[in-house]
């Protein structure tokens, strides 16, 4: 169900949210505007424009699906090293829309180019043109439905009119709300850090697995910083940090045709030139970026369809990181484990099953399993201190369930995040349209 | 919920079932007895003995899980080429039961050896002893619970007393009922065929993904024939036919520690000696075995937890069989596809998503998708004849949903079978114990 922004902005939920983000203000060089292009039956903000008036360096990671949306194809064709605008619509995935879908993006990019170029020339401080090759797109929503080119195009002029160079902090919340599909909560994260004694901001927004009409679960994440970093550095930092954040979460093991996470740096802070991600001066930024991405990724899981519990699975002391990851995801994607958590059932037999079904070799007499603080299996034997009733109380009372798998075979670890599988998931995914 | 056998045997369900199997009688050389060893709170047949009085050649395939039950370990240690008895209990998985679990099986095997040897000597026609090494076990049920060695051992004497060499056809139904956990229906299949003009019978029973107390979903399948075939031939025929039957089904993508499918041949029909599975004389048997295994595998899926629809996924014209299989299972295991079927929603976007998320390369402009008789995608384009309302009617009215994916890239096909994902699945797996 689309969120009514006017109700939401006045609600207790938003106020408490805003307390989390009271320091959010603006990132120099980033402007945001949102609009309802009437893509939904009940109007809500459904198109969000990010405008980087002096351009932004950027890097993106896209879905690994072999079938991708037209906007992902568009983005991959961009040659420009700097981006001036990112436009996101949250109603139409622009997948299986054929040449018309791609052509629609081109028409919209031409309109954005025209209107933003006009604005840049009017605002004498930024008198360069915005080219079609400096615009990228985020899309999520229904697959195979005609892309609403006209409706979006008609609203570009107003989106550009609404742009302010200095914006109040609520604009970030509006952007986070504007990219939601059936997410129940907007997802924002912010960190501050330093590069060579210069203070740097990193803000991010994301949307999670939700459905429209109903269709695809899609993850979109956009991160913005005022640091001055090259595309190469941004790319390396994003690829490195995505592995333990957005690539460490799973809701239902399904992957969309539209998944996209991007980082944009406006370069407004005149920090030291960074040529290598092993440079000590980038360490604080690297850590802060990791926190922003992890925070957003966790919010996606916590708001996964039908989720009532957040599950963290730590696989420890594996021979290889790949092995740790396979076991962690085998547990995280197991419907039997996820329904057991939904039912407050410390059913460790299902964890054993999920460990066993991967192709990773383990040694049972070295395997230990913990549920929260409780040891269940110690070196292949049921722990003498394990009391199932205590485990049931833990399952029932905790909203955050921790499962630790210690393989005792090596030095590599991997942590995966997921949520439980509830009747609500089936309701959302089976009953929504019927 | 355990089935009350007395009620069931008189029920309309059984009567109509028995009509399906009116020709089931006995397979020469196989005797069956069943008993309640009080493994459940409410008594029901929970231990089933198969007795091959002159031994049976055999072959087995076991779970691919890296963590296996003690009975799978026991069976793998058997050196004897002929088997005299198979004992199945349906309450305790004998997994993570440590050395005690294995020792329990040894004690029970010793008791079986003692009692069957006594019987063999009394029945002068079969005056050889039954050794511990001629006995294998099937187990399914709770993981990590002490194995009920004593309760089972105490009932061996009575199980042996109940053995008749010539049995009525109901004994097969009793065996199929006796190996059920939370299966709603017993699963039997039978075929007749020929080897070199000699008439051969092949009977099979199976249990599917069910839960006890609740725990693991386990598949057990046992096939019996009066043909005279070597262990080598049985092994090759079983491995070949399992790929397109029991290895082509999925309920929730989870694999148990106890899965086991075996074939036993008593050699009571004096058929031509078969040395090679490419021998033309084995063709009729090969086909009949495939039908028995496919029939049982389909019954397992149709009776999968919470299933309301049976789904057949045909992936056609793939470059490799492995590729066809990966795509078929990606669709069959996708919670989003399975919930769409539960909701009667012809949500082909989710099928696209599931095809795209595998690591198999496809060419979109060659891809065609059919839902039942309706073309949805033709060579990468939405079919002009596709009418969504017709697709909705198909989804709603059909109990058997067919999805055809034509890759148009090669000559290999694979068919996977699954069922939909319903609220009932969550109820069974999350709420059962709470």
Q: What is the pLDDT of residues B382-413, one digit of tens each?
A: 899 999 999 999 999 999 999 999 999 999 99
| Distance in angstroms (rounded) separating the CA atoms of residues B25 and B30 | 11
The answer to whether the beta carbons of residues A93 and A142 sit under 8 Å apart is yes
Contact: A216, B364; criterion CB under 8 Å:
no
Extract the tokens encoding B311.
């789904």
Q: Using CB atoms, which residue from B66, B353, B361 is nearest to A362?
A: B66
- Residue A212: predicted pLDDT: 30
Residues of B in contact with A216 (CB under 8 A): 336, 349-350, 353
B-interface mutation test, from A211, A347, A424, most B Cβ less than 10 A away: A347
- Residue B7: predicted pLDDT: 46
| Distance in angstroms (rounded) separating the CA atoms of residues B50 and B170 | 15
Contact: B67, A356; criterion CB under 8 Å:
yes
Contact: B255, A335; criterion CB under 8 Å:
no
B-interface mutation test, from A341, A349, A350, most B Cβ less than 10 A away: A349
Contact: A336, B252; criterion CB under 8 Å:
yes
Name the closest residue on chain A to residue B354, using Cα atoms. A254
Q: Using CB atoms, which residue from A66, A98, A362 is nearest to B361?
A: A66
Task: Give A145-201 as a DSSP string.
Answer: SPP-HHHHHHTHHHHHHT--SS--THHHHHHHHHT-SS-SS-EEEEEEEEETTEEEE
- Residue A395: predicted pLDDT: 94
| Distance in angstroms (rounded) separating the CA atoms of residues B328 and B333 | 9
The mean pLDDT value for B327-335 works out to 90
In chain B, domain spans: 5-302, 310-431
The mean pLDDT value for B273-282 works out to 95
- Bin B316: left if φ > 0, else alpha if -120 < ψ < 50, else beta: beta
Task: Residue B116: name the closest of B55, B160, B78 by CA.
Answer: B160
The answer to whether the beta carbons of residues B245 and B189 sit under 8 Å apart is no
Task: Residue A218: name the closest of B357, B160, B91 by CA.
Answer: B357
Higher pLDDT, B345 or A434: B345
Distance from CA of A1 to the nearest CA of B (A): 18
Residues of A in contact with B335 (CB under 8 A): 252-254, 335, 421, 425, 429
- Residue A152: predicted pLDDT: 98
**Residue B259 vs residues A46, B57, B176, B246, B297: alpha-carbon distances, Å:** 50, 20, 16, 10, 13
Distance from CA of A97 to the nearest CA of B (A): 8
Residues of B in contact with A430 (CB under 8 A): 339-340, 342-343, 345, 421-423
Distance from CA of A407 to the nearest CA of B (A): 13
Relative to beta strand B374-378, strand A47-62 is unpaired
The mean pLDDT value for B340-362 works out to 90
Residue % of chain B over a pLDDT of 70: 90
The mean pLDDT value for B164-193 works out to 86
| Distance in angstroms (rounded) separating the CA atoms of residues B193 and B223 | 14
Catalytic residues of B: 218
Residues of B in contact with A365 (CB under 8 A): none
Contact: A254, B354; criterion CB under 8 Å:
yes
| Distance in angstroms (rounded) separating the CA atoms of residues B33 and B171 | 7
Q: Among the CATH numbers 3.60.70.12, 3.40.140.10, 3.40.50.1820, 1.20.58.2030, which is that of A5-302?
A: 3.60.70.12
Name the closest residue on chain A to residue B216, using Cα atoms. A350
- Provide ipTM, 2 decimals: 0.75
Q: Using CB atoms, which residue from B257, B356, B362 is nearest to A353?
A: B257
Distance from CA of B322 to the nearest CA of A (A): 16
| Distance in angstroms (rounded) separating the CA atoms of residues B356 and B342 | 22
Contact: B348, A214; criterion CB under 8 Å:
no
Distance from CA of B350 to the nearest CA of A (A): 7
Relative to beta strand B400-406, strand B368-371 is antiparallel
Distance from CA of B401 to the nearest CA of A (A): 15
SS3 content of chain A, % helix, strand, coil (to 5): 35, 25, 40
Extract the tokens encoding B234.
């049985």
Residue % of chain A over a pLDDT of 90: 63
Nearest 5°: phi and psi at A48?
-125, 130
Q: Using CB atoms, which residue from B144, B342, B431 is nearest to A430?
A: B342
Higher pLDDT, B27 or B11: B27
Residues of A in contact with B66 (CB under 8 A): 355-362
Residues of A in contact with B323 (CB under 8 A): none
| Distance in angstroms (rounded) separating the CA atoms of residues B66 and B73 | 12
CA–CA–CA angle B109, A367, B428 (5° rounding) = 70
* DSSP assignment letter at A429: I
Q: How far is CA A406 from the centre of its chain?
A: 29
Catalytic residues of A: 218
| Distance in angstroms (rounded) separating the CA atoms of residues A371 and A264 | 39
- Residue A21: predicted pLDDT: 53
The mean pLDDT value for B88-111 works out to 94
Residues of B in contact with A63 (CB under 8 A): 356
Q: Using CB atoms, which residue from A66, A360, A434 is nearest to B345?
A: A434
| Distance in angstroms (rounded) separating the CA atoms of residues A274 and A256 | 34
The answer to whether the beta carbons of residues B421 and A427 sit under 8 Å apart is no
Residue A105 has pLDDT above 60, yes or no: yes
Q: How far is CA A261 from the centre of its chain?
A: 6
Residue B112 has pLDDT above 60, yes or no: yes
Q: Where are the beta strands (DSSP E) in B12-100?
A: 30-35, 47-62, 83-89
Mean pLDDT over the full length of chain A: 88
Residue % of chain B over a pLDDT of 90: 63
Helix locations, B86-187, DSSP H: 98-122, 149-154, 156-161, 170-178
Q: Give the SS3 label for residue A363.
A: coil
The mean pLDDT value for B332-355 works out to 89
Buried b (16+ CB within 10 A) or exposed e, A230-247: bbebbbbbbeebbebbbb
Residues of A in contact with B381 (CB under 8 A): 98
Contact: A343, B433; criterion CB under 8 Å:
yes
Residue B241 has pLDDT above 90, yes or no: yes
The mean pLDDT value for B181-196 works out to 89
pLDDT tier, B281 (very low <50, low <70, confident <90, very high otherwise):
very high
Contact: A66, B357; criterion CB under 8 Å:
yes
The 10 Å Cβ neighbour count of residue B281 is 16
Residues of A in contact with B421 (CB under 8 A): 335, 426, 430
Residues of A in contact with B351 (CB under 8 A): none
Residue B139 has pLDDT above 90, yes or no: yes
The mean pLDDT value for A337-356 works out to 90
**Residue B240 vs residues B198, B289, B290, B320, B321: alpha-carbon distances, Å:** 23, 10, 9, 17, 14
A-interface mutation test, from B349, B358, B380, most A Cβ less than 10 A away: B349
B-interface mutation test, from A429, A431, A432, A433, most B Cβ less than 10 A away: A429
Residues of B in contact with A214 (CB under 8 A): 345, 347
Higher pLDDT, A210 or B47: B47
Residue B338 has pLDDT above 60, yes or no: yes
| Distance in angstroms (rounded) separating the CA atoms of residues B29 and B301 | 31
Name the architecture of domain B310-431.
Answer: Roll (3.10)
* DSSP assignment letter at A227: S
Higher pLDDT, B186 or A431: B186
Cβ-Cβ pairs closer than 8 A, A with B, add up to 200
The mean pLDDT value for A256-274 works out to 93
Extract the tokens encoding B27.
């397979």
Name the closest residue on chain A to residue B257, using Cα atoms. A353
The mean pLDDT value for A73-94 works out to 96
| Distance in angstroms (rounded) separating the CA atoms of residues A418 and A421 | 10
The answer to whether the beta carbons of residues B217 and B305 sit under 8 Å apart is yes
CA–CA–CA angle B97, B103, B108 (5° rounding) = 110
Name the closest residue on chain A to residue B143, using Cα atoms. A349
- Residue B6: predicted pLDDT: 42
pLDDT digits (tens, 9 = 90+) for A139-185: 998 888 899 999 999 999 999 999 988 777 788 989 999 999 878 88
pLDDT digits (tens, 9 = 90+) for A62-71: 988 888 899 9
Contact: A349, B144; criterion CB under 8 Å:
yes
Residue A41 has pLDDT above 50, yes or no: yes
Contact: B431, A343; criterion CB under 8 Å:
yes
The mean pLDDT value for A264-273 works out to 96
The answer to whether the beta carbons of residues B419 and B301 sit under 8 Å apart is yes
Higher pLDDT, B227 or A165: B227
Distance from CA of B179 to the nearest CA of A (A): 20
Q: Please list, in sequence order, all residues whose beta carbon lies within 8 angstroms of the beta carbon of residue B282, skipping any fewer than 6 positions away.
A: B195, B233, B237, B274, B276
Higher pLDDT, B430 or B402: B402
| Distance in angstroms (rounded) separating the CA atoms of residues B342 and B420 | 5
* DSSP assignment letter at A284: H
B-interface mutation test, from A356, A369, A382, A395, most B Cβ less than 10 A away: A356
pLDDT tier, B69 (very low <50, low <70, confident <90, very high otherwise):
very high
Contact: A429, B216; criterion CB under 8 Å:
no
Contact: A426, B425; criterion CB under 8 Å:
yes
The mean pLDDT value for A378-402 works out to 93
Extract the tokens encoding B272.
């031509």
Task: Residue B380: name the closest of B363, B356, B405 by CA.
Answer: B363
Contact: B343, A68; criterion CB under 8 Å:
no
Task: Give A313-354 as a DSSP string.
Answer: EEEEEESSHHHHHHHHHHHHT-HHHHHHHHTT---HHHHHHH
Distance from CA of A211 to the nearest CA of B (A): 10
Residue A434 has pLDDT above 80, yes or no: no
| Distance in angstroms (rounded) separating the CA atoms of residues B366 and B409 | 8
Residues of B in contact with A144 (CB under 8 A): 348-349, 352, 382
| Distance in angstroms (rounded) separating the CA atoms of residues B288 and B200 | 10
CA–CA–CA angle B250, B252, B253 (5° rounding) = 65
Which of B4-8, B24-28, B242-246 has maximum average pLDDT? B242-246
């Amino acid at each position: 169900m689309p969120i009514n922004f006017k109700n939401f902005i006045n609600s207790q939920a938003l106020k408490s949210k805003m307390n989390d983000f009271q320091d959010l203000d603006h990132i120099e060089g980033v402007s945001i505007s949102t609009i309802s292009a009437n893509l939904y039956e009940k109007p809500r903000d459904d198109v969000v424009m990010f405008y980087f008036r002096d351009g932004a360096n950027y890097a993106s990671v896209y879905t690994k699906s072999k079938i991708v949306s037209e906007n992902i194809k568009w983005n991959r064709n961009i040659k420009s090293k700097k981006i001036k605008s990112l436009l996101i619509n949250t109603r139409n995935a622009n997948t299986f829309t054929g040449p018309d879908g791609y052509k629609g993006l081109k028409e919209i990019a031409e309109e954005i180019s025209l209107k933003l170029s006009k604005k840049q020339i009017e605002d004498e401080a930024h008198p360069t043109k915005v080219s079609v090759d400096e615009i990228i797109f985020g899309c999520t929503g229904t697959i195979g439905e005609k892309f609403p080119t006209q409706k979006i195009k008609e609203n570009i002029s107003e989106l550009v009119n609404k742009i302010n160079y200095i914006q109040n902090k609520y604009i970030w919340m509006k952007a986070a709300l504007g990219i939601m599909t059936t997410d129940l909560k907007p997802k924002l994260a912010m960190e501050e850090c330093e590069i060579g004694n210069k203070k740097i901001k990193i803000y991010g927004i994301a949307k999670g697995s939700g459905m429209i009409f109903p269709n695809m679960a899609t993850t979109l994440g956009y991160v913005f910083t005022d640091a001055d970093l090259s595309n190469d550095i941004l790319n390396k930092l994003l690829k490195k940090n995505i592995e333990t954040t957005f690539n460490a979460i799973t809701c239902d093991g399904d992957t969309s045709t539209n998944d996209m996470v991007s980082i944009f740096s406006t370069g407004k802070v005149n920090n030291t030139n960074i040529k290598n991600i092993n440079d000590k001066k980038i360490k604080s930024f690297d850590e802060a970026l990791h926190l922003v991405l992890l925070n957003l990724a966790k919010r996606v899981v916590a708001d996964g369809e039908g989720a009532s519990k957040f599950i963290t699975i730590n696989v420890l002391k594996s021979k290889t990181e790949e092995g740790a990851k396979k076991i962690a995801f085998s547990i995280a994607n197991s419907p039997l484990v996820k329904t057991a958590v939904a039912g407050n059932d410390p059913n460790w037999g299902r964890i054993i099953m999920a460990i066993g079904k991967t192709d990773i070799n383990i040694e049972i007499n070295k395997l230990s399993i913990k549920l929260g603080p409780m040891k269940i299996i110690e070196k292949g034997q049921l722990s003498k201190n394990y009391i199932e009733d205590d485990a049931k109380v833990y399952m029932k009372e905790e909203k955050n369930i921790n499962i630790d798998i210690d393989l005792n075979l090596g030095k590599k670890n991997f942590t995966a995040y997921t949520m439980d599988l509830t009747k609500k998931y089936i309701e959302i995914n089976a009953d929504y349209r019927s």
